[in-house]
């Protein structure tokens, strides 16, 4: 099992920082039809209701994530937390990209919880991981993007450098059909108990829609 710690400087800047972790075996498939029916029938409606009730910036867990970004020195309107970006797409009627069963469940958990969620090929990252604030001039190649400036962003890293962030992940550990073991992380900057609830339904969704096996679950 991977070992993850939260950098003390990050905890000092935002004491509520926590990470929910799932590590599991999986056979990545192209699409789960049942998952997409659930997304389109139930989850998209809940996301639109949340936008109507709160406005996107004040949806619980997005609001706290934006505040944390400001504490880390990043403008949350220019560098949006990934859950906000997903919910904005739904609100604009653009829907979601179909990627694969792991990434699609990743997005489902993110939309329902309003937490950023990242999934990484466990075979392509180190055993010791740290969640920290991106350093000056630090960059990586984003998924489907050019080099992303990650200074000031909440960043997941191993001994080789940054792997992903709660805004946009790198290509290095992206989930493809070859991934046999996956680490899925829920990034929480809130003091509520929503992370615990997300861990419960997240495990259920990973098993039901992605066929995840031997799931290990813990919170840092």
CA–CA separation, 87 vs 114, rounded Å? 8
Residue 143's pLDDT is: 87
The residue among 120, 152, 128 whose CA lies nearest residue 138 is 152
pLDDT digits (tens, 9 = 90+) for 188-207: 999 999 999 999 999 999 99
Tell me what pLDDT residue 147 has. 85
DSSP string, 112-160: HH-SEEEEEEGGGS-SEEEEEEPPTT-EEEBTTSSEEE-TTSEEEEETT
The pLDDT of residue 145 is 77
Helix (H, G, I), strand (E, B), or coil: what is residue 82? helix
Tens digits of residue pLDDT in 129-154: 999 999 999 989 888 877 888 999 99
Question: Which parts of the chain have pLDDT scores under 50?
Answer: none
> What pLDDT was estimated at residue 210?
97
CA 191 to chain centre: 17
pTM: 0.96
Cα separations (Å) of 194 from 62, 104, 112, 166, 184? 12, 20, 10, 17, 17
What pLDDT is attached to residue 75?
Answer: 93
Total length of the chain = 220
Tell me what pLDDT residue 160 has: 94
How far apart (Å, rounded) are the C-alpha atoms in residues 32 and 37? 9
Element containing residue 27 per DSSP (H, E): none
Give the pLDDT of residue 90.
93
């Amino acid at each position: 099992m991977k070992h993850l710690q939260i950098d003390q400087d990050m905890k000092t800047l935002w004491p509520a920082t926590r990470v929910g972790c799932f590590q599991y075996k999986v056979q990545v498939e192209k699409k789960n039809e049942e998952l997409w029916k659930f997304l389109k029938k139930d989850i998209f409606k809940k996301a639109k209701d949340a936008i109507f009730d709160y406005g996107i910036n004040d949806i619980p867990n997005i609001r706290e994530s934006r505040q944390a970004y400001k504490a880390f020195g990043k403008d949350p309107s220019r560098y949006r937390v990934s859950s906000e970006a997903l919910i904005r797409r739904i609100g604009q009627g653009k829907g979601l990209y179909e990627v694969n069963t792991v990434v699609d469940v990743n997005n489902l958990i993110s939309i329902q919880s309003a937490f950023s969620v990242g999934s990484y090929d466990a075979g392509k990252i180190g055993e010791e991981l740290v969640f920290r604030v991106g350093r000056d001039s630090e960059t990586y190649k984003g998924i489907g993007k050019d080099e992303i400036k990650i200074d000031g962003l909440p960043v997941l890293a191993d001994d080789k450098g940054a792997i992903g962030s709660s805004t946009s992940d790198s290509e290095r550990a992206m989930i493809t059909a070859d991934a046999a073991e996956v680490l899925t992380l829920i990034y929480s900057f809130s003091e509520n108990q929503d992370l615990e609830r997300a861990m419960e339904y997240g495990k259920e969704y990973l098993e039901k829609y992605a066929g995840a096996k031997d799931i290990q679950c813990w919170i840092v």
